[in-house]
Amino acid sequence: MGDGMFVSDYMTPDPKTVRENDRVSLAEQILRIVNCHQLPVLDRSKRLTGIVSDRDVRSAVGYDAKLGDELFVSEIMTAAPVSIPLSASFDEALELLTSNRFNALPVLDDGTLVGIITRQDLLRAFHKILGLDVKGRRVEIALPQIREDLCDAFKAIRSYEGDIVSVIVSSMRRDGDEPTLYLRVAGSDPRSIEQALRTAGLIVLVPEHI
């Protein structure tokens, strides 16, 4: 799979880890060198038993660097962290991270740690899904009669000769109660799609020029 809607498409595979009996100073060093914010914690059998963050390290050590050599990772980690299977969808990860206060999910395949997905990874995924990695223009269409309007919208855009980069239907408009169709389009004349949509009787909201 690649660039899809699954955890495996956006996770960091084979993440750096620490062991329960490692010193906190080692965890701090790895976090700094790898430039990450969370480390999965494994036991001697390489089973996931916890997760330790840079915040955990700062809270435990503070300004006393000597404490890092005295404390074990097992003393400051979050034990039995919530994880997600490799086969999980993007929206399952999004639901878990947005409904909880943690910032990362270890990814397991048949009980074995194979990756980690973070809030930052989800932002990167949204950037890709919204088509923001392609230069283009956003077009918003109000959908007061969602089924009929969607049919009319897709009929109208058939005549557009540019690229349709992304298509998303939102359940709520930013300025009202009606759903909205968000298009991101690219091409030599992106404004022509707005004219085609208006000609079809659709409500094109104030466009954002990019």
197 pLDDT more than 70:
yes
Asked if residues 45 and 156 have their Cβ atoms less than 8 Å apart, the reply is no
pLDDT tens per residue, range 163-181: 999 999 987 655 567 899 9
Q: Which residues pair with 40 in a beta bridge?
A: 51
The share of the chain scoring above pLDDT 90, in percent, equals 72
Looking at the chain, how many residues does it have? 210
* pLDDT confidence of residue 20: 97
Distance CA 69, CA 87 (A): 38
Using pLDDT thresholds of 50, 70 and 90, give the confidence band for residue 102.
Answer: confident
Segments making up each domain of the chain, as ranges: 7-127, 131-204
Q: What is the pTM of this model?
A: 0.80
Which fold is adopted by the domain 7-127? Answer: CBS-domain (3.10.580)
Task: Centre a 10 Å sphere on the Cβ of residue 109 and count the other Cβ atoms it contains.
Answer: 12
Closest CA to 10 of 128, 130, 132, 117: 117
Which fold is adopted by the domain 131-204? Answer: Alpha-Beta Plaits (3.30.70)
